[in-house]
């Protein structure tokens, strides 16, 4: 057989089972781990992740996702040292990716294969909204390990990451514009398709200007600065968080507290509540005509709107008075804005892939006649798939509450407003202490983490 036909046969074999690289579902590797976390004591969840051969482990396109999921699962289980190490590995990969261009056409490895098949063979590239969560989670690791200096250093990176994300967005915009002209695309038609994809996404109640404007990260950074006696920096971060949540009374209280710079002889309890998991991405198909060829672009999206966050009710010492949490970050809004920011570059890659496939089809027809055409048509029809990989153990929503307590023993009872799932926590508090309580609701159970620090405003 001619070379083009051999390539098509090889590609079709690759996609029909000889390699899990292209079409296997990343979700099938991770969801069972999250279900185990929810169903029972799961001390071996991280070990399962290590042994899972479907994960790329320390090589392959899912390497970054492996470290992210491993770090998140370890953190949920309270193994902050292991989580710290895993997230450090993830950050190193992210930093390497940030130093690379969006696409390097001289790369004959992953890039050329992904242009001939689909984006699933590429290394997973962390979008900006997820990068902001990584920073927040790593800062929390340091806080729970009582490494305040390191937590403050991690918080300092937040400002740098913000500027990097802004620069990256601008670079992506210039890249898309350049490729539209280089490929002789109809700019109006391209923009129309991009906008249609954005409109096909369910619209959140709040859509941030940028996907990396994460109030969770700002709040955790503010807390790290506050506990490390860097009050001016703490004020800046809390103000950023408040700008994204202007009605959140608990963030308002933190700013008021810093402004007063004097505290009564009470203990302060801050509760961060993470609920559920982000939903899976789904494939959205968009028609696009280029060079007299009709193509169906496959882009990631969400078929249905996310369920609204429910938050929790906090009851103190069996009193009738209760405290209701308030949203800290709209994870849904960040995720949708991230898809919108990336849609142009994703479309360009698929159009470039279309050009490769059209060339292969023409060569197959010249060299192998109708057999080549049939093989080429089958290959083109089944090869294009949206890359639906995403960091699946991220929380569905994040809520915040805080309360001042008199010294002594107290029972805190929180109840999820949606499911009714409830759990008490007995906490013995001392005056002039700040207690961070992190509650992670996996659906049918809670994971609770607490750490105490001396009040810095004394």
pLDDT in tens, 276-326: 999 999 988 877 777 776 777 888 999 888 988 888 999 999 887 789 999
- As a whole number of angstroms, the distance between CA 66 and CA 191 comes to 35
pLDDT at 340 > cutoff 60: yes
pLDDT in tens, 59-105: 678 889 999 999 999 999 999 999 999 999 999 999 888 777 655 44
Do residues 277 and 393 lie in contact, with contact meaning Cβ atoms separated by under 8 Å? yes
Whole-number mean pLDDT of the chain?
Answer: 82
Task: Say if CB 94 and CB 126 are below 8 A apart.
Answer: yes
Highest mean pLDDT among 199-203, 208-212, 287-291: 208-212
pLDDT at 286: 78
201-215, 363-377, 413-427: which has the highest mean pLDDT? 413-427
Q: Return contacts of 78-87, CB within 8 angstroms, 24+ apart.
A: 78/447, 78/449, 79/46, 80/141, 80/144, 80/145, 81/145, 82/46, 83/137, 83/141, 84/138, 84/141, 84/142, 84/145, 87/134, 87/137, 87/138, 87/141
Residues 6+ apart with CB under 8 A from 50: 57, 70
User: How much is the pLDDT for 440?
Assistant: 96
For residue 358, name the pLDDT band (cuts at 50, 70, 90). Answer: low
Are 77 and 40 contacting, i.e. CB atoms less than 8 angstroms apart? Answer: no
pTM: 0.86
pLDDT at 106: 36
What confidence tier does 179 reach under pLDDT thresholds 50, 70, 90? confident
pLDDT at 56: 46
Q: What is the pLDDT of residues 215-269, one digit of tens each?
A: 999 999 999 999 999 999 999 999 999 999 999 999 999 999 898 876 778 899 9
Does position 359 have pLDDT exceeding 70, yes or no?
no
**pLDDT of residue 9 exceeding 50:** no
Who wins on pLDDT, 16 or 149?
149
At 290, which helix (H) or strand (E)?
Answer: strand 282-290
Nearest alpha carbon to residue 234 among 164, 135, 138, 151: 151
Please tell me the number of Cα atoms within 13 Å of 327 on its side-chain side. 18
Helix runs in 183-313, H state only: 187-200, 215-227, 231-244, 249-260
Q: What is the mean pLDDT of residues 160-176?
A: 83
Higher pLDDT pick, 20 / 144: 144
Predicted pLDDT at 119:
60
d(CA 415, CA 323): 11
**pLDDT tens digits along 25-66:** 678 888 888 988 898 665 556 666 655 544 544 567 888 999
pLDDT score for 456 = 75
Three-state DSSP at 33 gives helix
Nearest to 133 by CA among 324, 288, 278: 278
How confident is residue 168, by pLDDT bands cut at 50, 70 and 90? confident
pLDDT at 113: 43
DSSP 92-123: HHHHHHHTS-S--TT-TTHHHHHHHS-GGGSP
Q: How far is residue 400's CA from residue 237's CA, in Å, rounded to a whole number?
A: 16
Cα–Cα distance, 391 to 80 (Å, whole number) = 19
Residues 6+ apart with CB under 8 A from 187: 180
pLDDT at 22 over 80: no
CA dihedral 21, 25, 30, 34 (to 10 degrees): 180
| Least-confidence region, from 5-14, 361-370, 448-457 | 5-14
Q: State the pLDDT at residue 105.
A: 40
Interatomic CA distance for residues 138 and 151, integer angstroms: 8
Buried b / exposed e across 302-327, counting CB within 10 Å, b at 16+? beeebeebbbbbbbeeeeeeebebbb
Closest CA to 14 of 447, 335, 382, 343: 382
Q: Which two tokens stand for residue 53?
A: 């051969």
């Amino acid at each position: 057989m001619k070379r083009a036909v051999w390539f098509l046969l090889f590609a079709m074999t690759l996609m029909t089972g000889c390699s899990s690289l292209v079409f296997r579902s990343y979700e099938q590797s991770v969801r069972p781990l999250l279900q185990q976390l929810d169903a029972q004591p799961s001390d071996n969840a991280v070990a399962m992740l290590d042994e899972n051969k479907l994960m790329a482990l320390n090589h392959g396109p899912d390497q970054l996702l492996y470290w992210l999921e491993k770090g998140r699962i370890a953190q949920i289980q309270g193994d902050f040292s292991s989580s710290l190490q895993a997230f450090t590995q993830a950050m190193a990969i992210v930093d390497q990716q940030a130093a690379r261009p969006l696409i390097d056409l001289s790369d004959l490895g992953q890039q050329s294969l992904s242009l001939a098949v689909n984006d699933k063979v590429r290394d997973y590239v962390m979008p900006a909204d997820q990068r902001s969560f990584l920073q927040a989670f790593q800062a929390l690791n340091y806080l729970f390990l009582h490494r305040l200096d390191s937590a403050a250093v991690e918080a300092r990176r937040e400002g740098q990451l913000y500027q990097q994300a802004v620069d990256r967005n601008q670079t992506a915009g210039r890249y898309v514009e350049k490729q539209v002209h280089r490929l002789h695309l109809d700019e109006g038609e391209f923009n129309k398709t991009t906008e249609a994809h954005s409109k096909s996404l369910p619209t959140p109640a709040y859509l941030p200007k940028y996907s990396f404007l994460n109030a969770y990260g700002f709040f955790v950074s503010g807390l790290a600065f506050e506990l490390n006696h860097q009050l001016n920096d703490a004020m800046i971060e809390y103000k950023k968080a408040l700008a994204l949540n202007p009605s959140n009374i608990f963030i308002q209280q933190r700013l008021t507290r810093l402004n007063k710079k004097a505290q009564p002889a009470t203990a302060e309890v801050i509760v961060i509540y993470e609920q559920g998991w982000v939903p899976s991405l789904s494939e959205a198909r968009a028609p696009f005509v280029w060079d007299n060829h009709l193509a169906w672009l496959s882009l990631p999206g969400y078929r249905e709107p996310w369920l609204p966050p429910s938050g929790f009710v906090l009851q103190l010492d069996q009193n009738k008075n209760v405290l209701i949490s308030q949203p800290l970050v709209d994870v849904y809004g960040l995720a949708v804005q991230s898809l919108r920011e990336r849609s142009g570059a994703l479309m360009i890659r698929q159009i470039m892939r279309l050009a490769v496939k059209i060339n292969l089809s023409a060569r197959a027809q010249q060299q192998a006649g109708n057999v080549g055409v049939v093989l080429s048509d089958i290959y083109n029809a089944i090869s294009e798939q949206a890359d639906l990989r995403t960091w699946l153990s991220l929380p569905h929503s994040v809520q915040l509450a805080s309360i001042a307590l008199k010294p002594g023993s107290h029972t805190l009872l929180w109840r999820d407003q949606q499911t009714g799932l409830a759990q008490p926590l007995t906490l013995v508090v001392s005056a002039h202490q700040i207690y961070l309580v992190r509650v992670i609701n996996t659906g049918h159970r809670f994971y609770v983490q607490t750490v105490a620090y001396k009040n810095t405003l004394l």
